[in-house]
Amino acid sequence: MPAPFTAADAARLKKSLQSVIADGVTPGSVIVYGTADGTPEYLSAGIVAPECGDEAPTRHTAYDIASLTKVVATWPLVGRALHDGLLDLDEPLRDFLPAMNGETPSAEATVRQLLAHTSGLRASTRLDHYRGAELPLHELMCREPLDDAPGTHRYINRGYILLGLALAHINDQPLDELAAAMWEDLGMPEVTYGPLSRSHQVAPTEQRIPGAPRVWGVAHDDNAALLGGVAGHAGVFATPRSLAQYAQRLLTAYTDQTDTDLGEWTRVSLVPQAAIEPGLDRGLSWVLAAGGRVAYHHGFTGTSLYLALDTGRYLVICTNAVYHGNARTRIAPLRALALKTTSAT
């Protein structure tokens, strides 16, 4: 039986949430938590953003989820492609991209290595450096040399950009259309690639140029923006409600044999592929903690998704903490509490 969160859990989360808002870490936030078979519970505090007046964030507020795109769009689409025989985890990426000429060392990485961040690909990705080039993007990226030996764990976005390009190629369909059809199948209508119209229901992110409007309704990530907001590593917008639906679906699939395809892909993906640091391992896309009992992922804008596999718990954090600059350090205490609370037995 799933283990529900307690009133004390909710009180601690609420206090931490109010603290990060009072400290100016983020304008506002929504936390949603629950179990695979329960009704989601929501904690909300602060405002969407000063541009939205006193509007409080709700379960329907759309957040730029940044790198959660990896596990909400790319990872499940890879699972579908594997099931359909369009991909192979242990074959090189070059087999799933348009034909290329010359040396392409970065195309030798396998799909498994790309998902697990063990490809050795160059860590820095500046798509603006390719402007004006005659070759297609996938070939330009694949011609880049490696930074590390294959098998070395290093978190990078480049592999997921290439996976997004490969998914579009093997399905002969744009990535955003593939993802939209999948989210419809999963019952997640409030998940989408941008752009979104500016409104009180969409959380703005960062002001890049003093005096200019904030990034609002378009991808915060520079490389995703250069790809029109549609990329394998970033660019997706989602609501707290939709991420709760997704978490419940994954937890149910993990234990319920009726959803065999998604369940099997989830179980395969939550096997450690590489050590990150003591107590943390990398699965396929997901970070594994608490002895592999919890899988999670973060987004640069201030979002997080946690799944407790043995207790059936999940927790989602939606913030636009990047509104005040790099949010990673300042939001860490809230994320640490979320992981501890989710993993409690």
Domain end marker among 121, 141, 176: 176
Q: Are residues 222 and 91 in the same domain?
A: no
In this structure, the answer to whether residues 142 and 228 fall within a common structural domain is: no
- Helix/strand/coil (H/E/C) assignment for every residue in 24-67: CCCCEEEEEEEECCCCCEEEEEECCCHHHCCCCCCCCCEEECHH
Question: Per the structure block, which two tokens stand in for 32?
Answer: 């949603």
Measure the CA–CA gap between 336 and 332, rounded to whole angstroms: 6
**For the chain, the helix, strand and coil percentages under 3-state DSSP, each to the nearest 5:** 40, 15, 45
Closest CA to 287 of 242, 240, 342: 342
Query: Does some domain include residue 182?
Result: no
83/61 same-domain check: no
Is 79 part of a structural domain of the chain? yes
- Does residue 63 carry a pLDDT above 90? yes
My answer on whether 56 and 18 are in the same domain is yes
Tokens of 130: 């390719």
Which residues lie below 8 Å from residue 258, measured CB to CB, with a gap of 6+?
A: none
Tokens of 246: 């997704």
**pTM value > 0.95:** yes
User: Is residue 212 domain-shared with residue 304, that is, in the same domain?
Assistant: yes
Domain co-membership, 204 together with 336: yes
- Structure confidence at residue 228 (pLDDT): 97
Edge-to-edge strand list for the sheet holding 63-64: 63-64, 236-238, 192-193
- Say how many domains are in the chain: 2
Kindly state whether residue 298 falls inside one of the protein's structural domains: yes
Residue ending a domain, choose from 176, 210, 231: 176
- Residue-wise pLDDT tens digits, 123-166: 999 999 998 899 999 999 999 999 999 999 999 999 999 999 99
Q: Say if residue 216 is in the same domain as residue 324.
A: yes
Q: Are residues 66 and 112 in the same domain?
A: no
Answer yes or no: is 279 within a domain. yes
Do 201 and 316 lie in a common domain? yes
Residue 183, in any domain of the structure: no
Last residue of a domain, one of 176, 206, 229: 176
Assess if residue 185 is contained within a domain: no
Same domain, yes or no: 162 and 282: no
pLDDT-based confidence at residue 255 (cuts at 50, 70, 90): confident
> If we measure between CA atoms, which residue out of 137, 119, 117 comes closest to residue 128?
137
Who contacts 286 (Cβ-Cβ below 8 Å, separation ≥6)? 71, 75, 269, 270, 295, 296, 297, 307
DSSP state of 102: S
**Which residue range forms the structural domain that includes residue 132?**
73-176
Among 35-49, 98-112, 257-271, 329-343, whose mean pLDDT is lowest? 257-271
Residue 328 resides in a domain: yes
User: Is the model's pLDDT at 68 over the cut of 80?
Assistant: yes
User: pLDDT (tens digit, 9 = 90+) per residue, 206-244?
Assistant: 998 888 899 999 999 999 999 999 999 999 999 999 999
Give a yes or no: residue 1 inside a domain: no
203 with 270, same domain? Answer: yes
Kindly report, residue by residue over 276-302, the tens digit of the pLDDT: 999 999 999 999 999 999 999 999 999
Burial string for 12-36 (b: 16+ CB within 10 Å, else e) reads ebeebbeebbeeebbbbbbbbbbbb
Tell me the CATH number at 258.
3.40.710.10
* Residue 64 and residue 91 in one domain: no
Residue 214 is which amino acid? R
